[in-house]
Amino acid sequence: MTGRWRTAGRRGRTAGQWRTRRWRTGRWGTAGRRSSGAAGWLALSASLTALLTALPPAASAASAVADGGSGYAFAANARTAAGTTGTAGAVLLRPGTTYRSTLPEKGARYYRLELAAATTAYVPVTAVPPTDATVSASDGIGVSVENADGVSCDYDGARFGAGLSPRPITALGRRDANRALCQGAGTYYLVVERLVTGSKTTTPGSWNLEIAPVTEPPLARTGATTAPGTWDSASPEPLTGDPRRRPGGAGFSTARTLGQGVWHTDIAPGQTLYYAVPVDWGRQLHATVDLDSSGGDAHGYVSAALNLSLYNPVRGYVDDLSLGYDGTQKSSSLDPLPPVTYTNRYAVSGAQNAVRFAGAYYLVVHLTGQTSAVFGPGPYGVTLRIRVDGAPNSGPAYAGSSEPKGVFDAAAADSGGLLTGGGSDDRAMRALAVAGIGTGTALLLVLGLWTLTARRAQIRVNAQKPTA
């Protein structure tokens, strides 16, 4: 049995809604000269230390901090924010700043927001359980933003689904300035809670959280307030050709940039990979995922073995799919998405509503840990086929800047330079080469210093020897 299905618990979908579709050291001179030799070595060591300290640091491969119990790469500059059990004393979350927190097994946690009347706020929350946790399909998190009167402005939930694999899951709270609910400046509250079934198989304990609030300014001029009526919803043929190797990141902050093309990586059971695809205003994103055959003699079936989720630039859920796996190669595509347009926010459809701005669209790939028990520890080959169609345009004119700046800018999202002919890998290699040249130069200087010191010492020793 093969097939594609949508993750249970997300936007009301259930597991039953199926769809087809990784020196020898030497002694210096005579015994009487050993103290001078030791001093020489100390001086040499000090020189080496000074030279190496003066070198520029090597380029960091990832600007994030991996949590030892989850494998998720939290943003390196994330601040700690302890949630409160009620609104009293709730810590202030500032847009443009990323926070780390924890969520207990029971009880909601509150955080405070101070918002201007015309500002739309998005607050994505990523919950990260330990990799060895046991979870049920309906376990997850619920996220909402409430005003000072306790009225919910918006609610979103995310669950693990039938894959039964502990992995990072993300839900988005928001205050939309264009909606009738929650208008006006003032204090708002982010509320995060665990969604649990009470199943005895669920591992108790707290989960780590990453919270990354974003604000969107109003438009400089008012425009249409209805969603586009028609758009090309045909599914294009997936791209073909030799794939380029591109390992994924371990979190949103370390997502690896992908441009249009065919990309390949390896993934281990239980692992989650993050990619960022810059999508400009007016362009359509299409994504297909292939899971390679296991290459072994094992037989069996794992439902929802591979999950591919798509999130927008504020980490809001757009769409997802799951692949059942019987050891043979499998392939499926996300549903066609409309071109990225500001007025998509007025659409009823969740997927169309979510593609409301340009920027980095995140593809998150997870291989369930159950795959290992049936088909072995892997790693397993995954191929992503990315198309970005349509003519880009300038998009809307905002009356101000987002926080963080550039979050709705596709060019800024192309930090890897893949869309302009460069690449983060290329820059990293250049940085490594520079560092290597610097280190080599330092070693040559040290060796030269050592040779000079040794020769002078030998000359002094020879000068002290009696002549015949």
Q: Show the 3-state SS of the chain.
A: CCCEECCCCCCCCCCCCEECCCCCCCCCCCHHHHHHHHHHHHHHHHHHHHHHHHCCCCCCCCCEEECCCCCCEEECCCEECCCECCCCCCCECCCCCCEEEEECCCCCEEEEEEECCCCEEEEEEEEECCCCCCCCCCCEEEEEEEECCCCEEEEEEEECHHHCCCCCEEEEEEECCCCCCCCCCEEEEEEEEEECCCCCCCCCCCEEEEECCEEECCECCCCCCCCCCCCCCCCCCCCCCCCEECCCECCHHHCEECCCEEEEEEECCCCEEEEEEEECCCCEEEEEEEECCCCCCCCCCEEEEEEEEEECCCCCEEEEEEEEECCCCEEEECCCCCCCCHHHHHCCCHHHHHCCCCEEEEEEEEECCHHHHHHCCCCEEEEEEEEEECCCCCCCCECCCCECCCCCCHHHHCCCCHHHCCCHHHHHHHHHHHHHHHHHHHHHHHHHHHHHHHHHHHHHHHHHCCCC
CA of residue 213 relative to chain centroid, distance: 15
Task: Please determine, for residue 359, whether its predicted confidence score (pLDDT) is greater than 80.
Answer: yes
> Average pLDDT of 16-30?
34
Look at 45 and 345; give whichever has higher pLDDT.
345
Query: Which two tokens mark 130?
Result: 């330990």
Contact between 165 and 368 (Cβ < 8 Å): yes
Task: Please determine, for residue 452, whether its predicted confidence score (pLDDT) is greater than 80.
Answer: no
pLDDT at 249: 97
| Average pLDDT of the chain to the nearest whole number | 80
Contact between 196 and 105 (Cβ < 8 Å): yes
Q: What is the CATH number of domain 78-216?
A: 2.60.120
pLDDT at 178: 83
pLDDT at 118: 94
List the domain boundaries for the chain.
Answer: 78-216, 241-422
pLDDT at 230: 87
Of 64-78, 354-368, 444-458, minimum mean pLDDT range: 444-458
Q: Which residues, 6+ apart, have CB-to-CB distance to 75 below 8 Å?
A: 63, 64, 65, 98, 210, 212, 251, 252, 253
pLDDT at 69: 56
How many C-beta atoms lie closer than 10 Å to residue 118's C-beta? Answer: 16
Q: Which band of pLDDT confidence, cut at 50, 70 and 90, is reported for residue 199?
A: low
pLDDT at 415: 62
Nearest to 314 by CA among 238, 422, 404: 404
User: How far is 157 from 304, CA to CA, in rounded Å?
Assistant: 19
Share of the chain above pLDDT 70, in %: 73
Look at 208 and 233; give whichever has higher pLDDT.
208
Q: Give residue-wise pLDDT tens across range 377-428.
A: 999 999 999 999 999 999 999 999 999 999 999 998 886 566 654 444 444 4
pLDDT at 19: 38
Q: Which band of pLDDT confidence, cut at 50, 70 and 90, is reported for residue 162?
A: confident
User: How far is 289 from 367, CA to CA, in rounded Å?
Assistant: 12
Q: Which band of pLDDT confidence, cut at 50, 70 and 90, is reported for residue 205?
A: confident
How many C-beta atoms lie closer than 10 Å to residue 225's C-beta? Answer: 9
Contact between 124 and 99 (Cβ < 8 Å): no
Q: Give residue-wise pLDDT tens across range 111-139.
A: 999 999 999 999 999 999 998 899 999 99
Q: What is the CATH number of domain 241-422?
A: 2.60.120.380
Query: Which two tokens mark 442?
Result: 């330092």
> Average pLDDT of 347-351?
91
Task: Please determine, for residue 101, whether its predicted confidence score (pLDDT) is greater than 50.
Answer: yes
- Asked if domains 78-216 and 241-422 share a fold, the reply is yes
